[in-house]
Amino acid sequence: MNKDMNPAQSGALAGLRVIDFGQGVSAPHCARLFADYGADVIKVEPPEGDAARRSGPYPGDIADGERSGLYFFHNTNKRGVTCKVEHPEGRRLFLDLVKQADVLIENNLPRQMRHWKLDYATLAELNPQLVMISITPFGQTGPYSEWNGYDLNAYHLTGASARYCGRPGEMPLEHGTFSADYFGSVTAAAWGLAAVFGRDMAGGGQQVDVSCAEAIAAAFVGGQNIGGLAQDGRWDSRTGVGMPLGAPATILPCKDGHVWMLALEVGQWRGLRKAMGDPEWAALDMFDDMYSRAQNADLIYELMRDWLMSHGKMEIMEICQAAGCPVTAVFTIDEAVHHPHLQARDYFVDIEHPALGRLSCLGAPFKLPACPGGPRAPAPLLGQHNHDVYGGLLGLPAAEIERLHALGIL
């Protein structure tokens, strides 16, 4: 690990230097996870900026590269520089940064990295200890490795949409935005860090090849689905809302919104009965079996309607939880942001940003009580730390930095 780090950084990963050479979601979010716990993360953007700056959302829907919510969230705690790596002088600067890095995180197509002569084989000659985390939709090898692709391309390659998204007998649907990118990001952070701490055992750095599609396949389609296919050649398809093999197990409307009802085990079902006041219809012995309840799900949901519509979702959740039935209110985004549970865990952190003002940001998704992490500094303005990094870290004179800026290299 490196000395002469950013003095503002502290935490479990203090002493680790990371170059974020990604755009959009997967690589920047992965790098932010390192930054959340003290790594000195230097974000390298092209002179025109990360594509996320052009994606919003923006306050008042007025496009402004310095006020993009997508960019702000993924780049807190980082130092930001600009560099045109396709220019010989820009490439030289980038390589000088790589020489002093422990980790490089990127999400470019393999052919693009080869075109820039920034592929792992080239960089490893300069820095044999470098761990290069490459996050792409389809991975570094295979027939699709050179294809253009995005989050949804990776998601649908896995079979997850055919399995989960949509109603039976109807067309598959899209999944939530950036699911594959975020699963790839977290996977990359975990195993990239493993590669860093395994350098002595491995005899140096290595390239961590993360396919977002494979991360989704392992998490969404693995286990029961792949197991069934491997064992007897069968697989399940879309089931719509809810679970087909048990009931109640679906989203149902209530007085002020919706609740996710889940009562599969006998104890859970009896807890739900108690919460509903032990209605006579629910006491039938046949309903003690979740498969029997599944066969009569439409009837059960109709019989529950009056009780549901006479109670609010928070009341239903609290009554059911007290009775041993894992029912949960379906929260809106606004309700989640103001929820006292997340507030009590300090998951929202207020940060002052020079262009956005004071605003809340999501905290670190993992808790390390002995060395707490999370956002402390706002996402950098475009090229904000050019003098800090190129001057302080690489020793370039101010006049040279200005010359490179005037040439459009920075």
pLDDT tens for each residue of 153-200:
998 888 888 878 888 888 888 887 899 999 999 999 999 999 999 999
* 257 compared with 221, residue with greater pLDDT: 257
Tell me the pLDDT tens digit for each residue of 30-41: 999 999 999 999
For residues 241 and 296, the answer to whether their CB atoms sit within 8 Å is no
Cα–Cα–Cα angle for 337, 181, 117, nearest 5°?
A: 135
In the structure, what pLDDT confidence band is assigned to residue 3 with cuts at 50, 70 and 90?
very low
Q: For the sheet containing 328-329, what is the strand order?
A: 249-254, 257-262, 328-329
Last residue of a domain, one of 311, 335, 359: 335
DSSP 3-state of 21 = strand
pTM: 0.91
In a shared domain, residues 329 and 356: no
Residue 310, pLDDT > 80, answer yes
DSSP 3-state of 299 = helix
pLDDT at 223: 66
**Residue 2 belongs to some domain of the structure:** no
Q: Provide mean pLDDT across the span 89-118.
A: 97
DSSP 3-state of 247 = coil
Please give the sequence-ordered ranges of beta strands (E in DSSP) within 219-336, or none if there are none.
Answer: 249-254, 257-262, 328-329
Tell me the pLDDT tens digit for each residue of 44-54: 999 999 999 99
In a shared domain, residues 54 and 27: yes
Task: Rounding to the nearest 10 degrees, give the CA dihedral for residues 365, 367, 372, 373.
Answer: -20
Alpha helices (H) in 61-102, listed in sequence order: 69-74, 88-99
Residue 243, pLDDT > 80, answer no
**Residue 237 belongs to some domain of the structure:** no
**Residue 278 belongs to some domain of the structure:** yes
CATH number at residue 291: 3.30.1540.10
Residue 160 is part of which domain span?
17-219+347-406
In a shared domain, residues 326 and 195: no
In a shared domain, residues 89 and 196: yes
Tell me the pLDDT tens digit for each residue of 335-386: 998 889 988 888 888 999 999 999 888 888 888 888 888 999 999 999 999 9
Closest CA to 76 of 384, 378, 372, 407: 378
Last residue of a domain, one of 279, 305, 335: 335
Residue 317, pLDDT > 90, answer yes
Percentage of the chain modeled with pLDDT above 90: 70
Q: What is the number of domains present in the chain? A: 2
In a shared domain, residues 117 and 137: yes
Residue 75, pLDDT > 70, answer yes
Residue 8, pLDDT > 60, answer no
Please state, rounded to an integer, the average pLDDT across all residues of the chain: 91
With 0-12 / 13-18 / 19 or more C-beta atoms within 10 angstroms meaning exposed / middle / buried, residue 56 is middle
Residue 130, pLDDT > 60, answer yes
Residue 2, pLDDT > 80, answer no
**Residue 66 belongs to some domain of the structure:** yes
In a shared domain, residues 161 and 50: yes
Euclidean distance between CA atoms 319 and 308, whole angstroms: 12
In a shared domain, residues 274 and 352: no
